[in-house]
Amino acid sequence: MPSASGYFRTHYGEDTRLLDTRTKRVCYALLVVILVALPFVASAFLLDLANQVYLAIIGAVALMLLTGYAGQISLGHAGLMAAGAFTAGILFKEVNAPFWITLPASGLVGATIGVIFGLPSLRLRGLYLAVSTLALHFIVIYAGGEYETKRGFSTGVIIAPPRIGSWTLEDPIAWYFVLGLFAAAALLFGLNLLRSRTGRAWRAIRGRETVAEALGIPVARYKLAAFVVSSMMTSVAGCLFAYYRGFVSAEAFSLFLTIQYVAMVIIGGIGSMLGAVLGAVFVVLFPYAIEALTQVLPTPAAWANAVFAINYAAFGLVMILFLLFEPQGLVGIWRRIQNYFLLWPFKQAPLSKGR
Amino acid sequence: MADALLVVEQLEVVYQRVITAVQGVSLRVEKGQIVALLGTNGAGKTTTLRAISGFIGMDDARVTEGTVTYKGERIENLPPHGVTSLGIVLVPERQKVFENLTVAENLDANVARVVKGFDRKRLAASVYEYFPALARLRSREAGYLSGGERQMLGIGAALMCAPEMLLVDELSLGLSPIMVSELMQRLLAIRRELGTTILLVEQNAQVALDIADYGYVIENGRIVLDGTPERLSSHQDIKEFYLGGGSTRRSYRDVKQYRRSRRWYG
Amino acid sequence: MQLTINIVVLAAIYALICCGYVLIYRVSRVMSLAHGELMMLGAYGLFATAGTFSGHPLIAIAVAAVLATMVGVLVYVALMRSMTGEAVLAAVLATIALGIFLRGAMVLVWSAQEQHPIRLLGWTNSAVSIGETARISAAALVLVVVTALAYLSLYFFLKYTVWGIRMRAAGQNPLLAAQRGIGLHGIYALAWALATFTGGIAGMLIASDTALDQTMIIIGLKAFPAALVGGLDSLLGALIGSLIVAAAEVLMIHYIDPLLADVVPFFVLLVFLIVRPWGLYGSKEELDRV
């Protein structure tokens, strides 16, 4: 990222520092203050939206690590979330396990699935991998549905709100802070991983696997690690989702959910943590924006009952537009705006004719 | 001047916007000539060929300066199949055959330039006449051919595009001297009978100069020397670096020193 | 006997869908995740033309088939063309986006109601008895025949016609093909056209046999394992893969649990991915090129 003139890095540590300038520190501090203050002024509806965004951020960060950095396609994201949610649901129903057991348990289940489905990735690349993760999706959903029918929860499993000691997590504002903390933790975890050896290895693997191997990076181990980390985070997100909704059902984890997460990565901008956040915000808010638009704009009467269809179509269209015209995603736009102001009165056409 | 078939003028090619591979290459090929473009590894021979044959856009490279003119028409930004349909066909250095297709299919796959009275069958028959070895291998998959047979198939398939001009990249690469001289004879025959103009890119200066009408030497992305084969092969530096031998044996140490002070103004 | 017929019919369905996957993968190394939606679009095309040309079923079918083919060209020209040269990942994501777009758009145009285009054509899907106990519906019978025809003609097209040979050449080495005068965009558009044509026909026939609704997308996805088991770049492989997957699915449904229907193909796929990741007939080095 370019910096304004006058700012130079003088030792290597500064290259990997997360908040490198004072401006950035101030900006992020302000952001934190705003986010902390938000629940006290926001309406219940807005609060729910914010909570959904936080949940989405965890999942998006997980997928961004896997797809955006390690370069492995995954179409099993909804399946992994379902795995986390069902772990929580089943443990709660069968042994009445408390929150502090179900949460790590779903992480563990996610990690195990990550190993199982990461193993083929050691032999498979690209498309084959994508399809094996698609297989994962269908198998998990089948297993979940099977559990529902066998145990007689035909519509889904109801989960009581999590209790820690005598305190019950029920209040939306409390949820806001819990989910916010989880999302922040996921982000920090991701960012820290990326500036470590692991992150560099992932990027090398994405760039070119054979070269990474030749450079002495144990490709198999790091690929597997990417799967395990990503699946674990996704699964935890699924568990949180289950508790937040208070309800687990196989129908909630359709292939469309996977596509939504993939869209977060694309629309946000592949290979950027900021992209994961922006993508999560965009995708969560998108259906509400569409709904608002359909109310304002005149639409055929027949569409009134097909809001989901409008949503699908518009969503696909937006994804296509991003893929065609802004492969860098929202981050690309954001960086261009940033550069514009950074360079502002001195902006000029690039010197090279090649551009 | 006016009857030059292909004119390359002050060509400059930049890869990925930073690496300049070719800078200021100019050459002309007259109709019916065989022209040799000589140079060592990395001199820019292949890049020049790729610029002519329209391949350049595919490696994130582009022609930033200069022109390629074919029959008075600018072609430096045409796609590869566009260049082929004008009548310039490249025989690439490697991967010159479709390995999973049989020899016959390799010949059939090509799209010929629009020519009056074009007859694919007759053309294929003449290819088999030039390279009788191919006729026997007609139904063999090209992946199982030897290096020499592949080279024949590469040239044969290029002929199926009904070219006016062949660009041949490193014909001699990895082939035995006998095979190379045989192929060179075939090229002469092709030129004689079909009137095809040929631009030959070679590291092996000897064989190229044997059949060429004119030669260029390219080094570090520039044309440094040009002339008739006689003039080139009698040139001191060419003898020294491309033909081997030279007047007197020198020790390696001398050669290195000499190389540094090489002059190209003969 | 009935089981065998069920297997053959299901295998024919998968095989007909797989044609599209194999063709597109073969020329451009992209897998189209929008194939189920494109099939459905083909079926809706028949639904629309059946309404327009009521009383002339054959004209309606012909027009619908032409429409399906044109959709393929349109998809390539409008979307996939600009994805050539990009990473395979981007192209696959583009097909996902296209799929979700089509899914929404089709509901907006035709609503999510179950439709029966065959009734509009004025035909009934009566059952034909085979032997003493087994029965097969007329539409399913047509489907098996059409699949056989499609495979035979594709085989001859790829093996003996100039354009077929060119298509194989372009799939193998696009750079060399371009340099030999083969216009790659034309070849790619042709592959997409053939894929949506066969897919559209598959969609129409499935809609005639059962009904036209959202389940078709799932059928499209379930055919994918069949193509992969076969190796993705081989027609023969796709045929055999379809048979294996269909046999596994029908038998499991019959003997174990009907709910397994949506999962079995993926189970089969996983087994194959572990044992023989490049599929039955796929070439081994293809894996490294992705």
Higher pLDDT, B243 or A281: A281
**Is it the case that residue A240 has pLDDT exceeding 80?**
yes
**With contacts defined as CB-CB under 8 Å, which chain A residues touch B62?**
354
Q: Do C28 and C81 contact (CB within 8 A), yes or no?
A: no
For residue A118, give the chain C residue with the closest CA.
Answer: C274
Higher pLDDT, C223 or B66: C223
DSSP code, position B57: G
Distance CA B183, CA A214 (A): 39
pLDDT at B193: 86
Specify the CATH superfamily of domain B4-234: P-loop containing nucleotide triphosphate hydrolases (3.40.50.300)
Cα angle vertex A268, ends A262, A274, to 5°?
Answer: 120
- Interchain CB contacts (distance < 8 Å): B and C: 78
Determine phi and psi for A262, rounding to 5 degrees.
-60, -40
User: Which amino acid does the sequence have at A8?
Assistant: F
Tens-place pLDDT, residues C70-104: 999 999 988 888 877 667 778 888 898 899 999 88
Pick from B95, B98, B112: CB nearest C181: B112
With CB atoms and an 8 Å threshold, state whether A352 touches B17: yes
Tens-place pLDDT, residues C6-27: 899 999 999 999 999 889 988 8
pLDDT at C98: 92
Structure tokens at B243: 């033909």
DSSP A216-237: T--HHHHHHHHHHHHHHHHHHH
Q: What does the pLDDT average to over B43-56?
A: 80
pLDDT at B261: 42
pLDDT over 90, % of chain C: 24
**With contacts defined as CB-CB under 8 Å, which chain A residues touch B14?**
354
Distance CA A191, CA A16 (A): 10
CA C251 to chain centroid: 23
E strand segments, C153-260: none
**With contacts defined as CB-CB under 8 Å, which chain B residues touch C189?**
none
pLDDT at A14: 66
- Interchain CB contacts (distance < 8 Å): A and C: 136
**Is it the case that residue C34 has pLDDT exceeding 50?**
yes
Q: What does the pLDDT average to over B253-263?
A: 45
Nearest one of C23, C40, C9 to C138, comparing CA atoms: C9
Distance CA B216, CA B236 (A): 15
- Please give the radius of gyration of chain A, using alpha carbons only, rounded to the nearest integer: 22
Q: What does the pLDDT average to over B101-117?
A: 82
pLDDT over 70, % of chain B: 84
Confidence of residue B3 (pLDDT cuts 50, 70, 90): low
With CB atoms and an 8 Å threshold, state whether B64 touches A355: no
CA distances from B126 to B130, B135, B137, B179 (A): 6, 10, 15, 20
Q: What does the pLDDT average to over B126-139?
A: 87
> What residues have CB less than 8 Å from B221, skipping those under 6 apart?
B20, B21, B22, B23, B24, B25, B43, B44, B47
Which chains does chain B touch, 3 or more C-beta pairs < 8 A?
A, C
pLDDT over 90, % of chain A: 18
Q: Do A56 and A124 contact (CB within 8 A), yes or no?
A: no
pLDDT at A250: 83
What is the nearest CA distance from A218 to chain B, expressed in angstroms?
A: 30
What is the nearest CA distance from B225 to chain A, expressed in angstroms?
A: 29
Max distance between CA atoms of chain A, in angstroms, equals 70
Q: What does the pLDDT average to over A105-119?
A: 87
Q: Do A225 and A232 contact (CB within 8 A), yes or no?
A: no
pLDDT at A125: 61
| Mean per-residue pLDDT of chain C | 84
Nearest one of C222, C225, C205, C210 to C280, comparing CA atoms: C225
Distance CA A114, CA A118 (A): 5
For residue A306, give the chain C residue with the closest CA.
Answer: C108
For residue B60, give the chain C residue with the closest CA.
Answer: C85
| Mean per-residue pLDDT of chain A | 82
Higher pLDDT, C148 or A156: C148
Tens-place pLDDT, residues A201-238: 888 888 777 788 888 888 888 888 888 999 999 999 99
pLDDT at C116: 81
| Domain of A164, in residue numbers | 21-253
For residue B113, give the chain C residue with the closest CA.
Answer: C181
**With contacts defined as CB-CB under 8 Å, which chain C residues touch A308?**
104, 107
Nearest one of C165, C235, C170 to B103, comparing CA atoms: C165
DSSP code, position B102: B
A320 occurs within a structural domain: no
With CB atoms and an 8 Å threshold, state whether B100 touches C172: yes
pLDDT at A353: 41
Q: How many domains does one find in chain A?
A: 1
Pick from B109, B112, B158: CB nearest C165: B109
For residue A354, give the chain B residue with the closest CA.
Answer: B17
What is the nearest CA distance from B94 to chain A, expressed in angstroms?
A: 21
With CB atoms and an 8 Å threshold, state whether A353 touches B64: yes
**With contacts defined as CB-CB under 8 Å, which chain B residues touch C175?**
55, 58, 80, 95
DSSP code, position A247: E
pLDDT at C289: 36
pLDDT at C228: 84
Confidence of residue C290 (pLDDT cuts 50, 70, 90): very low
Q: What does the pLDDT average to over B86-113?
A: 85
pLDDT at A16: 65
Tens-place pLDDT, residues B184-217: 888 888 888 888 899 988 888 888 888 888 888 8
Pick from C89, C97, C224: CB nearest A320: C97
A307 occurs within a structural domain: no
Helix (H) or strand (E) holding B74: strand B73-74
**Is it the case that residue B259 has pLDDT exceeding 50?**
no
**Is it the case that residue B111 has pLDDT exceeding 50?**
yes
Domain boundaries, chain B: 4-234, 235-266
Which chains does chain A touch, 3 or more C-beta pairs < 8 A?
B, C
Confidence of residue A8 (pLDDT cuts 50, 70, 90): low
User: Which amino acid does the sequence have at A104?
Assistant: P
Q: Do C137 and C128 contact (CB within 8 A), yes or no?
A: yes
Q: Reduced to 3 DSSP states, what percent helix, strand and coil does chain C have, rounded to the nearest 5?
A: 75, 5, 20
Q: What is the ipTM of this complex?
A: 0.82
With CB atoms and an 8 Å threshold, state whether C165 touches B55: no
What is the nearest CA distance from A107 to chain B, expressed in angstroms?
A: 44
With CB atoms and an 8 Å threshold, state whether B62 touches A355: no
Residue linked to tokens 């537009």: A321
Structure tokens at C101: 């777009």
pLDDT at B239: 67
Q: Do B111 and C181 contact (CB within 8 A), yes or no?
A: yes
Cross-strand pairs, A278: none
pLDDT at B218: 84
**Residue from B15, B17, B20, B56 to probe the interface with A (highest A Cβ count within 10 Å):** B17
**Is it the case that residue A245 has pLDDT exceeding 60?**
yes
Confidence of residue C279 (pLDDT cuts 50, 70, 90): low
With CB atoms and an 8 Å threshold, state whether C182 touches B111: yes
pLDDT at B75: 82
Tens-place pLDDT, residues B4-40: 788 888 888 887 777 777 888 888 888 888 888 888 7
A198 occurs within a structural domain: yes
What is the nearest CA distance from A354 to chain B, expressed in angstroms?
A: 6
* Cβ neighbours around C90 below 10 Å, total: 17
With CB atoms and an 8 Å threshold, state whether C182 touches B158: no
- Interchain CB contacts (distance < 8 Å): A and B: 7
How many H helices and E strands in chain C?
A: 13, 2
pLDDT at C285: 45
Distance CA B131, CA B153 (A): 8
For residue C83, give the chain A residue with the closest CA.
Answer: A324
> What residues have CB less than 8 Å from A326, skipping those under 6 apart?
A332, A333
**With contacts defined as CB-CB under 8 Å, which chain C residues touch B85?**
181
For residue C164, give the chain B residue with the closest CA.
Answer: B109
pLDDT over 70, % of chain C: 94
Tens-place pLDDT, residues C217-276: 888 888 888 888 887 778 888 898 899 999 999 998 888 877 777 888 888 888 887 777
